[in-house]
Structure 1
Amino acid sequence: MAEVQQSDVSLRHLRERLRLSLACAAARLAIEDAPSRPVEAMGLRFDTPLGIAAGFDRHGRLGRRAGSLGFGFIEVGSLHPAELSGLLRSTGTAQLGINLGLTPGIPEAVFHEALAQLWPQADYLMLNLIHPACAPLLEPGARSHLTRLLASLRERQHRLDRLGGRQVPLAAKLRCLPGDLPLDLAALLRDLGFDALLAAHDPGPPATPQRYRHWQDPAVQAQACTQIERLRSLCGPRMALLSVGGIQTAAHLNDRLDAGAELVQVYGALKEQGPGVAGRMLSRG
């Protein structure tokens, strides 16, 4: 049984590498003008509101070149402090977000150094609070520790901005599931002055065909939009909202934007529909 499971994991990783290679090749060969639908969020200008979620391009092989496919931004990672040296650099029009995993047991100073190392490369920085390894940080008894960590990283980002002469927004990614919308954590991010919140409406990997079909239910899409509306009401107009999970069509994209998200990320749709998905979603907007 263990060998079968290992074989399944290896096959899944192979498919993921092939999909990433296909996207890289499509970006190199793109000859048509990429769709344009400009939007401003987090103090940044994005050519389109559609981006690629973390996990598809962990180390930046595609990176900023995603802009030639119609994506306004791409989020690389999630990375942990020991993995930062493997991050690749690229040129292109897509804004680049870097996703940093917050893992318990790592000294706060290590995260400060990671933030300083990533700051020059990033257009925005995302703190990942949905990885299974960070679950202990979300326990009620760890709330004071989490608050101190987030506050110190926010202050570190402010210092980097002042010293570097530019602003690199700081955001955080929260899991937002049916019946479990973390309004208390969203309020904490708001009160700490975070620039953005990324709501992840999907339970996470592995991304299966069954779950992909599940998101085609209009009621499931409506539930995600309702969550965005509640988060928008809580966070107010200053804090940008991003939404990821289940976006497969132009209608899904527009519904999330109408609900209050400024930016939307895709992952499963890119895997299932290929690198032309951005053009299809945006041209039907």
Structure 2
Amino acid sequence: MPLSALALRTRWSVARMHQGRQQPFMPAGLTTPVQVMGLDFPSPLVLAAGFDRHGRLFDAAARLGLGAIEAGSMNCAPDRPVPPLLWPRHSAVRRGLSLGKPPGMTWAQAPAAFLHALVNWHRCADYVTLNPGPDCPSPDDLARVMTVLMDARMNLPRRSPLPLVAKLPARWIGRTTRRSTLHRFADTGCDGLLLSMEGLTEPPGEALADIAGIAGPGITLISVGGISTLHDVRRRLLAGMHLVQVHRAFARTLPQRDAMRVRSQRA
């Protein structure tokens, strides 16, 4: 199957950045460290899953102004090995790992597959995101997986519990459904919510501010989707997000005037 234009731009951008020729995405004024989920992030900007699936940019992440890179999504098939580029190594930039359900597996079978991946891959990540993909029938199905993993993580051989994040697609966090969805995942005890704005009909800033008000201070909020400029990043942070993920904007590489505008806003 031919690659889409976005996929081609993404691969080209990864190659440029990996070779060290790409300028940092974030201006110095916005690389303020953030402490959430028991982790220190050098910057609130996170490279979203799908851009650097195998972690090729981990070593260059700090130079690019990133606080974390989320690798994947990896489908959690029991026989899938950990890619060598994801093997543990020290870095100030946080390593996220996005896990998705293997194709053809039912959601009734999914908890066991996610659990197997968590037990075998947790050393590769500072935090793990559960990705429902396009075929997850309801928030309850992903929440059941999260509950199983929240119980299991206490038995992992780590110095502190592994933070777990649930990705919530826009169809679950519309005006009429967001409150029940947020409460459902709060009940699981998960550490963070990755909120996708792709396909949401209301303005992202308004939706995220409302979500932040409902969720309260006890859970980490991460925004992804619909970000084209550095001003968009700043607006998401002002709406109450702790971290902001980018993908398309990073592939396009924002013009220098955006960096200048953000600097002037913070002066």
Report TM bin, short chain.
0.7 to 0.9
8 Å contact kept, 1:65–1:92? no
Q: Does 1:202 align with 2:205?
A: no
Structure 1, unmatched stretches of 5+, are 1-5, 205-219
Partner deviation per Cα, 1:226-281 (whole Å, 9 max, x = no partner): 12122212221010100011223332222111111000011111011269899778
Post-superposition offset of 1:169 = 0.7
* Counterparts of 2:58 and 2:261, CA distance in 1: 20
8 Å contact kept, 1:23–1:274? no
* Counterparts of 2:255 and 2:120, CA distance in 1: 30
* Counterparts of 1:278 and 1:120, CA distance in 2: 37
* Counterparts of 1:45 and 1:108, CA distance in 2: 29
* Counterparts of 1:224 and 1:10, CA distance in 2: 26
* Counterparts of 1:275 and 1:166, CA distance in 2: 40
* Counterparts of 1:256 and 1:29, CA distance in 2: 23
8 Å contact kept, 2:192–2:222? yes
Structure 2, unmatched stretches of 5+, are none
Aligned residue type for 1:97: G
Q: Does 1:164 align with 2:163?
A: no
- Length-normalised TM-score, structure 1: 0.76
Moved more, 94-103 or 82-91: 82-91
Counterparts of 1:1-285 in structure 2, within 5 Å, are 6-7=1-2, 9=3, 13-26=7-20, 36-82=31-77, 83-86=80-83, 88-89=85-86, 92-103=91-102, 104-105=105-106, 106-129=109-132, 131-132=133-134, 134-136=135-137, 138=138, 143=140, 145-160=141-156, 163-176=157-170, 182-203=178-199, 223-273=203-253, 283=263, 285=266
8 Å contact kept, 2:68–2:96? yes
Post-superposition offset of 1:183 = 3.1
Question: Residues 151, 259 of structure 1: CA spacing in aligned structure 2 closer, same or farther, 3 A cutoff?
Answer: same
8 Å contact kept, 2:16–2:22? no
* Counterparts of 1:126 and 1:20, CA distance in 2: 22
Partner deviation per Cα, 1:136-157 (whole Å, 9 max, x = no partner): 3x27xxx3x5443221111112
- Partner SS for 2:238: helix
Aligned residue type for 1:193: G
Moved more, 117-126 or 63-72: 63-72
Aligned residue type for 2:82: S
* Counterparts of 1:51 and 1:253, CA distance in 2: 11
Question: Residues 49, 11 of structure 1: CA spacing in aligned structure 2 closer, same or farther, 3 A cutoff?
Answer: closer
Post-superposition offset of 1:12 = 5.3
Post-superposition offset of 1:70 = 0.4
8 Å contact kept, 1:34–1:279? no
Question: Residues 166, 281 of structure 1: CA spacing in aligned structure 2 closer, same or farther, 3 A cutoff?
Answer: farther
* Counterparts of 1:52 and 1:46, CA distance in 2: 12
Q: Which has the higher helix share?
A: 1
**RMSD value over aligned CA atoms?**
3.1
Question: Residues 91, 159 of structure 1: CA spacing in aligned structure 2 closer, same or farther, 3 A cutoff?
Answer: closer
Partner deviation per Cα, 1:97-140 (whole Å, 9 max, x = no partner): 100013542453222110112211111110012x12x323x27x
* Counterparts of 1:126 and 1:114, CA distance in 2: 12
Question: Residues 38, 11 of structure 1: CA spacing in aligned structure 2 closer, same or farther, 3 A cutoff?
Answer: closer
* Counterparts of 2:121 and 2:21, CA distance in 1: 24
- Length-normalised TM-score, structure 2: 0.81
- Partner SS for 1:78: strand
* Counterparts of 2:111 and 2:185, CA distance in 1: 18
* Counterparts of 1:181 and 1:260, CA distance in 2: 20
* Counterparts of 1:80 and 1:281, CA distance in 2: 40
Identity of aligned residues (%): 32
Name the count of aligned residue pairs: 252
Aligned residue type for 2:248: G
